[in-house]
A and B are shown apart, each in its own frame.
Chain A
């Protein structure tokens, strides 16, 4: 791997990974009222996954599972209102009080966003799988005519 020769890059990416996870999670939850959202969160997770691949550090490999989970979540959120007679993709909003966080308001849009995040991560992992220096480390891409 290109970057695995440099211990500084290696260590830097390792150290940055948990931070990126925190940032991504923050973006996911903050998205409803501040800049962020499911797509951005997925990109943060995707970016850190890509960096880890460059450095040859372990990364998620369950591509099909990720994509399938994401699709199931968004479709379930989209179709759920049909069950009680509302229109497709109708929003449900829940509010309550949590310890430490105080008054919290959230809705099915958040669950929808989580599905979007997972699909974006799945797509990026699929792209990484498809690249010539995938986890197997050997060239797999044949030259196109």
Chain B
């Protein structure tokens, strides 16, 4: 079933691409089918069997390269978010895009490709599988953020996002390699806790990778820029799914790093910094979408902080907030997108009075906003309550740090939520509003209703959260989501947070906000990318200067130096002078041709002399009993000589005259290279180690390969993977030559 669902996504991508030539809306409708199917399937799994579903496809045996998927409670919850919200986002996009919008092929296909990659990521049970899908989400996200690619600022934003998440991906890969070396397995669920320096190194690398993806300070600079994406993309990638990948990874490998102090400290630092700085950022902006983006940074910081604490209660609260956040943040993005489409602006200073003109959107946004603020009667309230209880249950310093941070972060959250809701829907200039579109409002209403239902049907949401949390931390099963906790400390703290936040938010909503300054981090990132792009061509021009003689001299010097270590173990007594009387005759012929080649004045003559050397070597192979080698050598020499005849045609007959210094350099290098190769061959011949595997190979050739020509069976069967690689290289060279020839021809035609 796992593979079936992934294949459905691939088929859907192709189908959406074909349909997109005609109409973007048809393509979006088709692309919604795979996520919808996956959602229904995951509902069935949640209701039904609790056993994890595992599927493994071995790719290369012995290298531990396998595609391994495992669908447990954690993966099921994420599947529900990825595919459930995904299907709604496709429906929403139908309303968002005009029927004649551009990118009908590109957008639906990329969005579905992202959806499939995200599923692969949350289902992955091998670190390599996880990494592949992790990178796929980065690439598809780049395509989606850069949707309006004709706008330069959009391209810059997309490039920035790709560079930061891509660089983070490489760091993550390094971390995963260290981790697999420490634990001795690539299977995520088989990993035992690590410790020591290796564990700390893996912890730091993986945290950096996760922080780039989940837009944690100081890697958050790409997320506000990524708001250049169409709003359905922001609702999907930048709230509910892709940015959750980092948090998901931290949650999944958290138990492996439970004994590593660095993990906890660094994760908590990243999380707390993002939670507070994101909250402040959300208060500094007027663009509703940017407010939500900064709010996302803050909320992700809260999640990272909770998973950093790692106690059973904190993990439980983290999972609850993960679920609640996906629901309310996607709703809010969708509502902001609807406002953008119907009024033409997202600036909260220009918006006002929408509670009258857009009542449905207003209701959805208020429900989602209250859930974000952590107010009852909503899912967000129960989740926030669990989080506050978790930090109040800590000891001493930890309690002060974490409780202080989370309470401050929550006040900021309530403040920016209040400011956003009042700024958009409250009193203000009455904005002109376009006609409603059912496809725009239905998905956001559905998600907002899910937030309310999560509170009303607490049994269902509790089971979802509880199962997932138990999977991550075995002791988390004792906790539950509670609708009405009574007057507890946590509830009083919550009430104080809500009151303080609401008052300060309302006060801030009444004030003029200056347009926020450009982010220093974003400018620095762009400058770095531009710097690399301008240094690269200059460096390339320096290394690849295009002078063939200098290339050859460099290569021969390098080869000469490489033979030096072999001079150590040379023993002359093992050498044989010759095996066959033909050999000295051939050797004289070869030497003669080689020397003639250096004295001939015409280029063609030198080419023919080189050909004679090659033929002599080919004859030597025959005396050694290697007919395959001799045949190949003979054919290659033939082609080279004929090729010289062709290639030398338009050139002068003689060699150009060089100055003496360069001539001397070439002679010295050539002699040194010749001596080094001769010496290396002598040494290789003088020190054979072990016995030749010829008997094994002969038997294997006949038994397994079914052929008597050992050389050929090695090429096509025993070492066929090498041959496959080699012919791919040949084909690549051919394509390269074709491209160069075409460039030359176009230049010549000008």
A residues whose Cβ falls under 8 Å from a Cβ of B: 2-3, 27, 31-40, 43-44, 46-47, 50-51, 53-54, 63-64, 67, 70-71, 74-75, 78, 87-89, 91, 93, 105, 107, 109, 112-113, 115-116, 119-120, 122-124, 126-134, 136, 138-142, 144-145
Interfacial residues, chain B to chain A (CB-CB below 8 A): 58-61, 545-548, 627-628, 631-632, 635-636, 638-639, 642-643, 645-647, 649-650, 704-709, 711-713, 715-717, 720-721, 723-724, 727-728, 730-731, 733-735, 737-738, 740-741, 744-745, 747-748
Residue in A116, A129, A138 whose CB lies within 8 Å of B727: A116
Given the known interface contacts A33-B707, A142-B744, A142-B747, the answer about A128 and B628 at a Cβ–Cβ threshold of 8 Å is: no
A142 proximity list for chain B (CB < 8 A): 744, 747-748
Cα separation A70 to B732 with both chains bound (whole Å): 12
For A89, the chain B residues whose CB sits under 8 A away are: 717, 720-721, 724
Instruction: Judge whether A50 and B741 touch: CB under 8 Å.
Output: no
- A residues near B706, Cβ cutoff 8 Å: 32, 91, 93, 105, 107
9 chain-A/chain-B pairs, Cβ below 8 angstroms: A37-B709, A37-B716, A120-B730, A122-B731, A123-B733, A139-B650, A140-B745, A144-B546, A145-B545
User: Do B627 and A35 touch (CB < 8 A)?
Assistant: yes
Contact of A145 among B58, B546, B723 (CB under 8 A): B546
Q: A32-B712, A33-B708, A64-B738 are in contact. Are A127 and B635 (CB under 8 A)?
A: no
Contact of A63 with B727 in the complex, beta carbons under 8 Å: no
Instruction: Please state if B745 and A136 are interface contacts (CB–CB under 8 Å).
Output: yes
Nearest-neighbour CB distance to chain A for B641, whole angstroms, equals 9
CB distance from B718 to the nearest CB of A (A): 10
Are the C-beta atoms of B716 and A112 separated by less than 8 Å?
yes
Judge whether A132 and B720 touch: CB under 8 Å.
no
A39-B649 in contact given A67-B731, A87-B61, A116-B727 (Cβ < 8 Å): no
Top 6 closest pairs, chain A to chain B, by CB: A43-B635, A32-B707, A109-B716, A126-B734, A35-B627, A33-B708
A78 contacts B647, CB within 8 Å? no
Q: Please, how many angstroms separate the alpha-carbon atoms of A102 and B390 in the complex?
A: 82
In whole angstroms, what is the CA distance A27 to B627 when docked? 12
A43 touching B734, Cβ below 8 Å: no
In the bound complex, CA of A131 to CA of B651 (Å): 12
Contacts of B740 in A (CB 8 A): 130
B709, A47: Cβ atoms under 8 Å?
Answer: no
A133 lies within 8 A of B650 (CB): yes
Give the total number of A-B pairs whose CB atoms are below 8 A apart: 174
B724 CB, min distance to chain A CBs, angstroms? 5
> Which residue in chain B gives the minimum CB-CB distance to A136?
B745
Which residues on A sit within 8 Å (CB–CB) of B711? 37
Picked from B548, B737, B747, the residue with its CB within 8 Å of the CB of A127 is: B737
The reply to whether B627 and A129 contact each other, CB–CB distance below 8 Å, is no
Contact A40 B748 (CB under 8 A): no
Query: Across the interface, do A132 and B727 meet the contact criterion of CB distance under 8 Å?
Result: no
**What would 14 more interface pairs be, CB under 8 Å, given A89-B721, A141-B744, A145-B547?**
A34-B709, A37-B716, A40-B631, A47-B642, A64-B738, A71-B727, A87-B58, A89-B724, A109-B707, A126-B737, A128-B643, A132-B647, A139-B748, A144-B547
Q: Which of A71, A105, A130 contacts B737 (CB 8 A)?
A: A130
Pairwise interchain contact B642-A51, C-beta atoms closer than 8 A: yes
List residues of chain B with CB within 8 A of the CB of A109: 705, 707, 712-713, 716-717, 720
Q: In the complex the two chains form, is B646's CB within 8 Å of A32's CB?
A: no
A91 nearest CB across to chain B (Å): 5
Is B723 within 8 A of A129, CB to CB? Answer: no
Say yes or no: A119 contacts B734, CB within 8 Å. Answer: yes
Residue of B nearest to A133 (CB): B649
**Complex contact B727–A74 (CB within 8 A):** yes
Measured CA separation A70–B704 after assembly (Å): 25
CA distance in complex: A88, B740 (Å): 34
Of the candidates B631, B646, B649, B723, the one whose C-beta lies within 8 Å of that of A116 is B723
User: Contacts A36-B709, A70-B731, A126-B734: A47 and B631 contacting too (C-beta < 8 A)?
Assistant: no
Contact A43 to B639, CB < 8 A, known contacts A33-B708, A107-B706: yes
B656 smallest CB distance to A (angstroms): 11
- For the complex formed, measure the closest distance between the CB of A67 and the CB atoms of chain B, giving whole angstroms: 5
Q: Kindly list chain B residues whose C-beta atoms are within 8 Å of the C-beta of A78.
A: 720-721, 724
- State how many angstroms separate the Cβ of B634 from the closest Cβ of chain A: 9
B642 to A123, Cβ gap below 8 A? no
Contact B741 A123 (CB under 8 A): no
The complex places the Cα of A45 from the Cα of B734 at a distance, in Å, of 16
